[in-house]
Amino acid sequence: MQASNRVAIVTGASRGLGAVIARVLAERGDSVVVSARHPETINESAAVLGRYGTRVVPVAGDITDAVVRARLVDAARELGGLDVLVNNASELGTIGPLMDFEVTRFGRLFPVNAGAPVALIQRAVPLLAERRGLIVNITSDAARAAYAGWGPYGATKAALELLTRTLAEELRDRGVSAVIVDPGDMRTRMHQEAFPGEDISDRPLPDVTMPFWRWLFDQPPVAVSGERFEAQAREGRWLQHA
């Protein structure tokens, strides 16, 4: 591996999918700014990434906090700029019927899953524009299918998908691209929380998505902008037109 001059931000990077994406970037020699809520977990993740010989900056805190978002972008600026922004941080909320859902909980789900990504993008776009960078927003098949019990979470991801496609249109003239990625069902803590007490060992680990990420980060951002991808599809068939 040789160090590159590329810089990336990955939110929700202390475990699961976010940790895998950050690892792929570090393996490429890219400098990485990683974030998660808890200092101990994100610092441990940063230490692991540092073994690849690249520069890694951990930022702890809630992504809905404007101060945390500012620290992420400032860290990228200090590393030299920003080429890739991955909005992976997400919150599941409560799985259950809509008729039992406490609507006030939207006040947490939408800010985390849709509002914070847009707010971080707004702050990061000047840096991304300098390098004709790429925004990657993580979605779910729950954004497209009506799964019983998944309505609130799916609604936030559906909103994020529309926002991403809109951003791809609005930022084209600034040279910034945006894509949507559905990573598919995986054996992660969030997925286990959706099925408490159930065995989810039949789901693959997030590592299964690595071939897709290696491919995506090799593409010219403008060539993929506005598209939706399924990271577990057969190689070469990742594109699922938005």
Q: Is the dihedral of CA 232, 119, 94, 36 positive or negative?
A: positive
Burial of 232 (0-12, 13-18, 19+ CB in 10 A): middle
Each residue of 41-88: pLDDT tens digit? 999 999 999 999 999 999 999 999 999 999 999 999 999 999 999 999
pLDDT of residue 242: 57
Mean pLDDT along residues 197-222: 87
Average predicted confidence (pLDDT) for the chain: 92
Distance, in Å, from the CA atom of 226 to the CA atom of 126, rounded to the nearest integer, reads 19
pLDDT of residue 79: 98
Q: C-alpha angle with apex 127: 123 to 129, nearest 5 degrees?
A: 105
How open is the CA angle 75-222-14, to the nearest 5 degrees? Answer: 35
Name residue 8's amino acid: A
Domains belonging to the chain, first-starting first, are: 7-230 (3.40.50.720)
Is residue 221 within 8 Å of residue 6, measured between CB atoms? no
Query: What span, in angstroms and rounded, lies between the C-alpha atoms of 2 and 53?
Result: 9
What b-and-e string marks burial along 162-171, b requiring 16 or more CB atoms within 10 Å of the CB? ebbbebbeeb
Place of tokens 């019927």: 97
Q: Which residue of the set 153, 213, 217, 229 is catalytic?
A: 153
Tell me the pTM. Answer: 0.93
Active site (annotated) includes residue 147: no
